[in-house]
Structure 1
Amino acid sequence: MEKTYNPEQIESKYRSLWEGENLFSSDLNSTSPNAYCIMLPPPNVTGSLHMGHAFQHTIMDILTRYHRGKGEQTLWQPGTDHAGIATQMVVERQLAAKDITRHDVGREKFIEKIWDWKEQSGGTITSQMRRMGASVDWEKERFTMDDGLSNAVKKVFIQLHKEGLIYRGKRLVNWDPVLHTAVSDLEVISTEEQGSLWHMRYPITDTDEVMVVATTRPETMLGDSAVAVHPDDERYAHLVGKTINLPLTDRKIPIIADDYVDMDFGTGCVKITPAHDFNDYEMGQRHNLEVINILTDDAKINDTVKSTYTGMDRFVARKQIVKDLDEQGLLEKIDPHKLMVPRGDRSNAVIEPYLTDQWFVKVAPLAQPAIDAVKKGEIRFIPENWDKTYYNWMENIEDWCISRQIWWGHRIPAWYDENGNIFVADSLEEAQKQAGEGVTLRQDEDVLDTWFSSALWPFSTLGWPEKTPDLARFYPTDVLVTGFDIIFFWVARMIMFGLKFTGEVPFKDIYITGLIKDGQGQKMSKSKGNVLDPIDLIDGISLEDLLKKRTQGMMQPKMAEKIKKQTKKEFSDGIPAFGTDALRFTFAALASFGRDIKFDLKRVEGYRNFCNKLWNASRFVLMKLEGETIDTNAKLSTADEWILSRLQGTKTKVEKHLKDYRLDLMSQELYEFVWGDYCDWYLELSKPLLADEKTKAGTQATLIKVLNEMVTLLHPIIPFITEEIFEQCNTILDKDNQSLITQAYPQVESQLISEQSEMEIKWLQTFILGIRQIRGEMNIPPNKPLNCFVQNFNKTDEVYLNKYINILNTLSKMATIDKLATNNEAPESATALVGEMKILIPLAGLIDKEQEAARLNKEIEKLEKQKMVSEGKLNNKKFVSSAPEAIVNTEKERLASAESAITDLSEQLKKIGNL
C-alpha cells in the first residue's frame, strides 16, 4: 500500500472499474429469490448536485450496496426530470443573448434546441453523482421525456379524462406574469417584505356612512365584488344587505355577512375580490359573487373594468389609484406593514392569484385509497410522525392544476374544433376520428406540470403500461428516500397514481430525511451566501475561488461584502480536499431522524481522519503479513477471540440499525469498532502476540479476517477506500482480484461470540486505562517506566495478572507489577480501580508536587477567566435575546466545558495535596 492515503487517485480508479465492468447492473444476483429496488427522485436536468442531493444519494447508496451485498437482485433506478420551466428558461436565455425569442424560431425548432442543449449540457448532475460513488444502474437511466415515459403520461391522461377525473375549467391559480404560466405552490417562495397597508373609505349607497377597508394591494379594488363583515358584528349588522358605491368605478357592490371575517382584525370590514385572492374566491363561490378579472397575462390592468387605468402595470396603477383616492378624500390612512410576498422561484416576479382556463385533476376520489394504504400499514412513513402531515393534506385535498403555459414538456393530448369542443386522444389521427372528417382541429398549446409525469415515476421507469420483467420483479419498490417539502407535491401523487394504475402501492417505506443546514442552523441559500458545494468538499477550493462562487451574480454590493466577510471568517484558508469517502461518512453520521441537520465542516475533517486511521491500520496489518502464509485453522489467543466476538456484536447492531433506517447509529457503531476496538486495542494487543511464535499464526489469521470483514461492513458508507484495502487484502491472501462491491455482506457467526474473552479483555483494558489516567492526571510522560503495586485482588485478578503480565508491561510501560497484601501499608501513591482491585503507582521521584500544583493552579486560573467571560455574555439579556440561537448555545457549551474542566483539575489538585 502507498504510505499516504490519496482519495483522488483511489476514487478515479474505482469509478472507472465499477462502471466499466457494469457492476451496478440490476442483472447481478438475477437468480436470487429476493429483489430490492429504490427509485432515485429524479433531479432536474438543469440542476447540479447540492448538499441535499448528496445527503439523500448517500443514504440511497448505502441501502443499495447493503442489499446488493445481501445477495438480492438490486435496482437503484436513476433518471432526471425534464424540469419544464427551468429548462425552457435556460434555452430562452441562450436565444436572448442573440436577440431572438422562442416565438421567432417557432415551437418545433425551439423544442429541437432544448434537446440539443440536453445532449450537450444536461448531464452535469449525473456526472456529479458518479463523483459521489452512486451505484445506480446507469444502463437503465431514464428521462421523463423519453418515448416510453411520454406514452405512459398520455395513457394516464386519457384514462383519467375518460373517467371524468381530468377536466378543463376556469379556476384561480398561481400566475407568474413574467413567465406567463401557472406555477405550483412549490415554485412560489414567500418572503417577508416591508410594504404598506392602505385604509380606504367605501361610501355606502344613499347614506353619509362609509366603511373603512384595509388592503395591501389597492389596485385589486377595481375587481371588488363585495365587502364582508362578520354576522355577529353589531357595528355593521344594520348595513348587511345594503350596497357600496365602489370608488373609482361606476359599480355598486353588496355588503355581505360571512363568519370567515375576523371582526377583531382592523376595522372588521374586508373587501372581497374573488378573481385575485384564493380566500376571496372561496367566499365568492359561497355567496355567488361576480368574479371580475382585472389583469392581463403580464399583470397589467385589462379593459374589463373600462377605466383610465387600463394598460397600466399593476404597480403603476397602484400608485395612481392611491393618489386618486387621496384626492377624493377616500384615503383614510397608510400604515407601514410587513407582509409575506409570494415570488416565483425562477423569475422572482410577484405571483398573482389569477383566473384562467386550466386543466385539473379531480383528486378527491384518488386520495381516499392513498390515505387507506398508509392507515392499513401497506406504506409506512419513517419517522412515523410524518403520516400526520400526510393525512392532514390528503384529507383536505383540492383539485390539482396540471397545465402549464410553456412549450417544453408533455403537450396535453387534447384537440379543439372551431366551436371549442374538446377531443382527448393519443394522436391527431385519433382525435380526428372522434371529431369526424373535415373538421379542423388544433392541439392544446399547454404542457403538463412536471409533477404529473413524476407521479408515474415508480412504474413508468419500469416499462408500464407494458408488462415488463422489470415491472414484475421490482414493483412495488422498497423505499423512497426524499425530503418533507415534497410529501404533497410528489409522494402523495405517486401513491395515488400507483394505486390507480397498478393496483399496488409504489413503495413500502417512505424515509423522510431532515434538511441540511449550515453550522449555525441556517438554511443554505445563494442569497445568504452560505451554500456548500459537495464537489468543493471532495476536491477542495481556495478562499479566492470560494468568494467568487458565493458572490457571483449578486446585485447588492453590501450583501456581497457581508458574505465575503463571513466566508473569510469561516474559511480563512479555503476548504481543504476531504475526499468522497469522508463526506459520505459525514452524511451517514448525520442521518438521524431530526428535521433540521447542522452540517459542520469539523465533522468532515473528523471522518477524513477516520479514513486516514483505517488506511494506516490496514497498511500496518498488510506489512506485518506480507510474505507470510496465513493459517486459518491456527489456535487463537484470548485477544483474537475477543476481537472476533466484538465483530459479531457489531454486525448484529449494524444490521438492526440498517433495518431501522438509523444510518447515524450504524456509522457510529462501525466508527467505534474500527477506531476503538480494532485500531486502538487489537492492533496494540497484536504486537506482543505477533512476537510470540505460540500466538503469531492465530493473530495473523485474525488480523486479516477482521480487516476483510471490517472493510466489507464499511463499504456501503465509504466504498472507495474499502475497495482499495480489499484489493490489497486479496493480494496478501493470494486471491484473484474481485471487486468488494460483489462480495457478500458479512453474516453473524454466533460460534465466535465469546463472553469469557470479552470479560477478560475488559479487565485488561480497565487496568491499562487506569494507568494511562494516572499518567495523564499527574503529567507523567507516557514512555516513562513505572513501578506498580496491586492490592485487594481476588483469585481471578491473580489469574489475569499472571496471564497478561507481558501485555501489561508492554502496553502500560510498566517496570514492575508487585502484589501487596491488603493489610500492608501502601506507599504514597496515585490509585485506580479494576473492580475491587486497587492499582497503586508510587509517586516518589516521579513528580514535583509543588511544580505540578503550580501548573494545575495556572490552568484553573485560565479556565476561571474563560468562565467569567461566558457567564458575562449569558447574563446579558441583550446578547441572549438578539444573538442567533446557535451562538448562544455555543457560549453555553463553552461555559459547561470550562466548569467541567475546573472540577476535574481541582480534583487532581486535591490528590496532589493528599500525597
Structure 2
Amino acid sequence: MDYSSLPTRISPEEFESSIYREWEEKKYFHADENSQKPSYSIVIPPPNVTGSLHMGHALNNTLQDILIRYHKLIGFETMWIPGTDHAGIATQNVVEKMLHSEGLTRHDLGREKFIERVWKWKEESGGTIIRQLKRLGSACDWDRERFTMDEGLSRAVRIVFVTLYKEGLIYRSNYIVNWCPRCHTALSDLEVEHEEKEGAIYEIKYPIKGDDRYIVIGTTRPETMLGDTAIAVHPDDERYKDLVGKIAVLPILNREIPIIADEYVSMDFGTGALKVTPAHDPNDFLLGKKHNLPEINIFDENGIINENGGKYKGFDRFEARKLIVEELKNLGLLENIHKHIHKVGGCYRCKTVVEPRISMQWFVKIKPLAEEAIKAVENGSIKIFPQNWEKTYYEWMYNIRDWCISRQIWWGHRIPVWYCNECGHLTVDIEDPDSCEKCGSKNIIQDNDVLDTWFSSALWPFSTMGWPEKNKTIEKFYPTSCLVTGFDILFFWVARMIMMGQKFMKKEPFKHVYIHALVRDQYGQKMSKSKGNVIDPLVIIDKYGADSFRFTLASLAAQGRDIKLSEDRIEGYRNFVNKIWNASRFILMNLGGYKPKDPVLEKLNKEDKWILSMLKDTADDVAKAIESYNFNEAALKIYHFFWLNFCDWYIEFIKIRIFKNENKDEALDTAVYVLKKSLIILHPFMPFVTEYIYKLIGEKESIMLENYPKGLPDYEADRRDVERIIDFISLVRTIRGEYNISPAVKIKVFYKTDDKEVMKLISDNLNLISTLAKTESIEETKENIKNSAVNVSRDFTVYVPLEGLVDIEAEIKKLEKEKQSLEKDFNIYNGKLNNEGYLSKAREDVIAKDREKLADIVARLEKVNESIKRFKGI
C-alpha cells in the first residue's frame, strides 16, 4: 500500500460513522450461542424510552463497552444485550403533554386509543437514545435489542406476577403510600427523592374536654390536623400521665379525639406529644392499626382538601396550610412557630411534593425474597465493586419494607387480575379469562392499575434472553458476568434483580456489580440545567470525537471517586488521538515498499528489546486493571506507554537508524509490531481510531477479530540499559531547560561514574545519546567540573559547563523581574482568599479558580527562587 498520501491530521467525523456501520453490517457485535468459547455477558441498564444520552449514560456505557471489547479480544464469546425501558410515568407524561397541546386529555381518547397513541410515539420518537449509544461506539448485540413492553417480556411479567400471587407473595391491601398529586399515582419509597428545605414547626394547642388545660402538639404539616384521630404520649411521661384516656378537642373541626399512650412516642422530641393522622403519615398509620383508630382521608388525588376537611374543602393543601395557621392564630391556639430545616419528599419524575395517603394497592411481600438476595452477596456469589457499597446494600436489605407495585396510570403492564361483579372473586391468570374462575360469570373487569416499571426491569437479565422458554442463549450466557450501574439504582433495580433471579432462575443474575460514581463539572459540582454547567455528550462527540470523550471518562473513572469533567481534559485526550495518528503516520510513511514482519530476536537492538519489554508490562498491567474494574489505571497505563515510551523515546531512537539506513528494517519491524499491539490494547477505550489505523497495517479485516497481546517477551537486562540511556539524556535535557539553553546550541557534557558497566554502555551508545541530547561532546571525568550545571542520578553525575552558554547577570535580572511580578500577583490573590467578605459573596467556581491561580503562582515562585539561587551559586 502507498502510504505517502496519508493526511497530516485526521478528523473523527471522517471515519467514525462509516466504521460503526461496517461493524454492524458484518455482525461483529452479535453473540453466537453455539460458540465453544467461554461466555462473557452484560445486560444494559435499560435507559428510559423517553431519554436522550446524558453524561451518566455516557460513562456507564463507555465502561460496559470497554469490558465487552476487552473480553472479546481475550477470547470470550461476548454478548451485550441492549434495550429500553417503557418508563411508565415518564412516557405517559410525554404523551399527555402532546395531547394537551392538541386540547385533549387521555380520558378524551379512552384507554385503548391512548395506548395506541403511546405506541405510535414510541415507534416514531422512542429510539433516540439507541441511535446515540451507537454514536458512542457501543458494541451492543443489536439483533437482541429488547423493550420492556415486548410481547416476550410482557409474558414473563405476567408469569412472575401470577406465580408470586399464588405463593402468597403478592397481596392487595388498603395501605399508606407515597402519592404524587401531579402524576396521580402511588410511588414506592425509592421513587421519592428527599431534599432539605426550610419549613417550620407549628406548635398547636389542643383543648382538653372538660378541663381548662391544653396539650401542645408540634407539626410541620398543620393542614393534616384535619385528619387527626388521636393524640399519643409516652406512657412514662410524667407530664401527661393524668391525661391518658381523656378526650382532646380537635381545633377548627371540634372533633373529639382520644389521648392514648404508646412507647413509640419520644419524650425528648418536641413537646413529647404526637398528633396521630393514620391516613397521612406512615408511622401514624401503623400506630393507628395498633390502637384501632379511624383513618380519615382529607385529600383527593390532586392534593385538594376533600369533604372531610370541613370549610377547607376545595383548597389546595399548601393554601389550606396558610389559612389554617391564620385561623389558629385568631383562635389563640397557635403557641409558637419555629423555623425548621427538614427533608421533604418529592416525586422522582415531576418533583411534586408527595403526599402520604391511604389507598388500595398491590404489594410484594419482600422479606422472603430479600433473604436469598442477602445470602448471594454474603457468600460471594455476587461481588460488589467498590466493596464499601456492600454495607449500604445490607443496611437497606435488612430493613426492607414491602414493595408497592401498583401504579394508577395506563401505560405499562396492566395488572393481570379480574374482579367478578357477581361474586367478588379475584381471577389471577397468565391468559386473559373469559369468565370468573369461581362462579363462571362473564361479568368480570380487569384491574385498572399497571405494574411499577421496576417490576419488569427486575426480570431484565433473564427475560431479555427469552425466559420462560428454555433456550441456548440462557444456557450459554446466564448468569451474566457483570452489571455496570450507578449507585442511585442499587435498590431500585440491582437488589430487585437479585431477588427475582434467585427466585425464578435459582441463580444469581450476575457475578459482579460495578458501581460507578457521578460525573460532575470541573469544580466538583453536580451538573444541572439551573446551574448552567451541564455538558452534553453529543456536543462533545461532535466537537472532539467519541474516542477522546470515552478515553477521558475512562481515565477519570477511579473507584469510589466522583469524576470532575472539563472540556480541557477532553481536548487533552484529543491531542492524544492526534499523537497516535502522527506516530502511526511516521512509521507507515517510512515503510516505503517494505513489508514488515514480526521482530527477530537475534537482530534487535537494545532499544527494540526495551520497547518490547515495556509493551509486555503495559499489556499485562492494563489487563489486570480492567479485570479489577480500575478503568482509570488501565487508561493511564496505556496512555503513558504510548505517548512517553513509544512516541517520545522509541520513535526518536529509531529515527537515527531510519534516516541513516542502519538496521532500518529491524527498527520498522519492531515499530509496526508495537504499534499494532498498542492499538489492540487501546481498542476497548478508543474503538474508532484504533480500527481506522489497524486497517492500514493489520492482517485481519477488523481489529475486533484480533487477540489481546499476552505472553510477550521480557528483556530485563536490555530494559535496564536503555532506561540508563534515557536517564542520561533526560539529565542533560533538564539542564538545558533550567538554564534556557537553546536546542539549536550543541553543548559539551561530562559525566562521572564508578560503574564500569555504565561507562561501557555510554561509550557504546555515544551516537544515540549525543543525537538526542544535542551534544558537541560527551566525556567521562573523575573530577568535578567547575562553573558547570550539575544533575545527578543513581548511576552517574552529569556536568554541563556554562561558560559562553549563559549570561548569568542577565538571567538573574530577568528572574528578579519575574519574581516581583509573581509576588504582586500573590499578594492580590492571597488577600482575596483571606477576605471573609469576598469568600461569603463570591461563587464557589470563582473561588476555586482563584485557589488554582494562587497555587500556580506559589509553584512558579518556588521555581524562580530556585533558579535565582542556582545562578548566584555559579
Fold shared by both chains (TM-score > 0.5):
yes
Q: Does 1:481 align with 2:481?
A: no
Distance 1:469 1:12 in 2: 33
Deviates more, 1:109-118 or 1:432-441: 432-441
Q: 2:553 aligns with which of 581, 584, 587?
A: 587
Determine the structure 1 residue equivalent to 2:587: 621
Distance 1:246 1:834 in 2: 86
Contact 2:303/2:317, CA 8 A, preserved across alignment: yes
Distance 2:159 2:319 in 1: 46
Q: Does 1:799 align with 2:760?
A: yes
Distance 1:346 1:903 in 2: 53
Distance 1:392 1:870 in 2: 46
Distance 2:349 2:872 in 1: 70
Q: 1:674 aligns with which of 632, 642, 649?
A: 642
Amino acid at match of 1:596: D
Matches within 5 A, 1:437-448: 437-448=440-451
Percent identical across equivalent pairs? 48
Matches within 5 A, 1:58-77: 58-77=62-81
Contact 1:723/1:740, CA 8 A, preserved across alignment: yes
Q: 1:742 aligns with which of 698, 705, 712?
A: 705
Distance 2:851 2:302 in 1: 53
Q: 2:15 aligns with which of 5, 10, 19?
A: 10
Determine the structure 1 residue equivalent to 2:126: 122
Residue 120 of structure 1, CA deviation = 0.5
Contact 2:523/2:848, CA 8 A, preserved across alignment: no
Q: Does 1:252 align with 2:256?
A: yes
Partner of 2:544, secondary structure, is coil
Q: 1:207 aligns with which of 208, 211, 223?
A: 211
Residue 433 of structure 1, CA deviation = 5.6
Amino acid at match of 1:868: N
Distance 1:108 1:79 in 2: 25
Q: Does 1:852 align with 2:811?
A: yes
Change in 2 beyond 3 A, CA 1:792/1:747: closer
Matches within 5 A, 1:398-797: 398-418=401-421, 419-429=423-433, 432=435, 434-539=437-542, 577-632=543-598, 634=600, 635-730=603-698, 735=699, 738-749=701-712, 752-797=713-758
Distance 2:696 2:714 in 1: 28
Determine the structure 1 residue equivalent to 2:3: none
Deviates more, 1:345-354 or 1:760-769: 345-354
Q: Does 1:365 align with 2:354?
A: no
Change in 2 beyond 3 A, CA 1:70/1:194: same
Amino acid at match of 2:644: G
Residue 444 of structure 1, CA deviation = 0.3
Distance 2:657 2:644 in 1: 19
Distance 1:266 1:258 in 2: 16
Distance 1:891 1:793 in 2: 49
Residue 883 of structure 1, CA deviation = 6.0
After TM superposition, the score normalised by the length of structure 1 is 0.92
Q: 1:839 aligns with which of 781, 798, 801?
A: 798
Partner of 1:92, secondary structure, is helix
Determine the structure 2 residue equivalent to 1:239: 243
Residue 710 of structure 1, CA deviation = 0.3
Contact 1:186/1:489, CA 8 A, preserved across alignment: yes
Q: Does 1:319 align with 2:322?
A: yes
Residue 96 of structure 1, CA deviation = 1.3
Contact 2:420/2:441, CA 8 A, preserved across alignment: no
Contact 2:607/2:650, CA 8 A, preserved across alignment: yes
Residue 747 of structure 1, CA deviation = 1.3
Amino acid at match of 2:500: F
Distance 1:157 1:654 in 2: 45
Which ranges of structure 1 fall in alignment gaps of 5 or more residues? 540-576
Distance 2:470 2:388 in 1: 36
Q: Does 1:905 align with 2:864?
A: yes
Deviation digits for residues 267-295 of structure 1 (CA, Å, limit 9, x no counterpart): 23221111111222233233332222111
Matches within 5 A, 1:4-403: 4-27=9-32, 30-304=34-308, 307-403=310-406
Residue 740 of structure 1, CA deviation = 0.8
Amino acid at match of 1:207: D
After TM superposition, the score normalised by the length of structure 2 is 0.96
Partner of 1:845, secondary structure, is coil
Distance 2:494 2:797 in 1: 61
Partner of 1:625, secondary structure, is coil
Deviation digits for residues 671-718 of structure 1 (CA, Å, limit 9, x no counterpart): 000011001000100111223444212111000000000011000000
Contact 1:793/1:838, CA 8 A, preserved across alignment: no
Partner of 2:312, secondary structure, is coil
Amino acid at match of 1:230: H
Distance 1:598 1:900 in 2: 23
Change in 2 beyond 3 A, CA 1:258/1:795: same
Amino acid at match of 1:455: A
Distance 1:132 1:802 in 2: 51
Distance 1:768 1:21 in 2: 49
Distance 2:599 2:125 in 1: 57
Amino acid at match of 1:850: E
Contact 1:631/1:697, CA 8 A, preserved across alignment: no
Distance 1:754 1:883 in 2: 57
Amino acid at match of 1:320: L
Residue 439 of structure 1, CA deviation = 4.1
Partner of 2:18, secondary structure, is helix
Matched positions, count: 866
Change in 2 beyond 3 A, CA 1:313/1:880: closer
Partner of 2:183, secondary structure, is coil
Contact 1:32/1:72, CA 8 A, preserved across alignment: no
Distance 2:537 2:606 in 1: 44
Deviation digits for residues 185-229 of structure 1 (CA, Å, limit 9, x no counterpart): 344333344444332210011100001222222221111122223
Residue 22 of structure 1, CA deviation = 1.5
Partner of 1:325, secondary structure, is helix
Distance 2:520 2:266 in 1: 37
Distance 1:848 1:319 in 2: 81
Distance 2:232 2:564 in 1: 47
Partner of 2:168, secondary structure, is coil
Distance 1:81 1:579 in 2: 28
Contact 2:190/2:491, CA 8 A, preserved across alignment: no
Distance 1:257 1:327 in 2: 31
Residue 159 of structure 1, CA deviation = 0.4
Contact 1:78/1:141, CA 8 A, preserved across alignment: yes
Change in 2 beyond 3 A, CA 1:821/1:310: closer
Distance 1:184 1:438 in 2: 35
Change in 2 beyond 3 A, CA 1:722/1:421: same
Residue 367 of structure 1, CA deviation = 0.6
Amino acid at match of 1:909: I
Determine the structure 2 residue equivalent to 1:542: none
Distance 1:42 1:644 in 2: 42
Partner of 2:307, secondary structure, is coil
Partner of 2:535, secondary structure, is coil
Residue 449 of structure 1, CA deviation = 0.2
Which ranges of structure 2 fall in alignment gaps of 5 or more residues? 1-5
Residue 893 of structure 1, CA deviation = 4.8
Residue 887 of structure 1, CA deviation = 5.9
Distance 2:710 2:559 in 1: 27
Deviates more, 1:67-76 or 1:453-462: 67-76
Partner of 1:511, secondary structure, is strand
Determine the structure 2 residue equivalent to 1:809: 770
Distance 2:812 2:93 in 1: 71
